[in-house]
Amino acid sequence: MFDIAHLNEREVLTQVASGNEHAFRQLFMSHHQQLGVHMLRLTNSAELAEEVVQDVFLKIWLTRESLVGVDNFKAYLFVISKNHALNCLKKLAKERVLVKALEIDGTGTFITEVADTDLYYNLLDEAIDQLPPQQQKVYLLSRHGRLKYAEIADQLELSRETVKKYLQIATVSITEYVHEHLEVSAFILVTVKSFFIFLKK
């Protein structure tokens, strides 16, 4: 029987790359717990951490041929897991953020119809995407990973004050972007919707 215990990391990865399921199971058992703990710290959600670990290892298996070019599997694993976790947090951002005080006519009227569509969430997604990388990470970890300043500082190897500053700048930038684009986008959305309603008559 294949015995992974007598192989070094390079040999194990070669076995997995060739489709050896036993080697993959052993690779998973060797790393999934530590990765799970790290993802839990990063996302502050056991459910999300579990999802990230499962998704990442599934992706590793589906793209196993690429493992032959990996020199340090642990580093490789943590990089792709961190990126996937941040993408998941960004997805949650669109799902969790509530539409508050988004006014375009200055009278206190909420854009209810628009808020019920994907428009606001698309704008939010665009606003987050346009942030510089570090600001984006800080924003997602704070607002949607719900980590404290000190925890974010530890994760990203930044000072607490830098984290606070990045979060403030990111929040202002996102708010301005959404407000700037909402009125035009709402007009386009309503116009196009009205056009297709007219065509259906």
The enclosing domain of 33 has a CATH number of: 1.10.1740.10
The CATH code of the domain that includes 109 is 1.10.10.10
* Angle at alpha carbon of residue 86, lines to 80 and 92, rounded to 5°: 140
- Of the candidates 136, 114, 115, the residue with the CA atom closest to the CA atom of residue 127: 136
**For every one of its 201 residues, what pLDDT tens digit does the chain have, with 9 covering 90 and above?**
445 555 688 888 999 999 888 888 888 888 888 888 888 888 888 888 888 888 888 888 988 899 988 888 999 999 999 888 988 887 776 655 544 434 444 444 444 444 444 566 777 788 888 899 999 999 889 887 888 889 999 989 999 999 999 988 988 888 887 776 665 555 445 544 443 354 344
Last residue of a domain, one of 88, 120, 138: 88
| Identity of the amino acid at 117 | T
Query: Do residue 119 and residue 194 come from a single domain?
Result: yes
* Cα distance from N-terminal residue to C-terminal residue, the chain: 70
Whether residues 70 and 121 fall in one domain = no
Count of domains observed in the chain:
2
Of the candidates 34, 69, 68, which has an alpha carbon nearest to the alpha carbon of residue 49?
34
Are 42 and 111 in a shared domain? no
Q: Are residues 150 and 78 in the same domain?
A: no
For residue 115, give the nearest of 172, 71, 178, 166 by alpha carbon: 178
Do residues 121 and 146 share a domain? yes
Same structural domain for residues 108 and 181?
A: yes
Residue 182's domain comprises 97-200
**Spatial contact of 23 and 44, defined as CB atoms under 8 Å apart:** no
One domain for residues 70 and 124: no
Residues 102 and 193 placed together within one structural domain of the fold: yes
Query: CB–CB of 14/68 below 8 Å?
Result: yes
User: What's the angle, vertex CA 135, arms to CA 134 and CA 140, rounded to 5?
Assistant: 100
Q: Which of 88, 116, 135 is the last residue of a domain?
A: 88
Q: Which residue, 70, 88, 106, sits at the end of a domain?
A: 88
Amino acid at 170: A
Residue that the structure tokens 């642990």 belong to: 74
Please check whether residues 54 and 80 belong to one and the same domain: yes
The tokens for 140 are 């997602």
Specify whether 60 is located in the same domain as 79.
yes
Are residue 192 and residue 102 in the same domain, yes or no? yes
Same domain, 103 and 188: yes
φ, ψ of residue 103 to 5 degrees: the values are: -110, 140
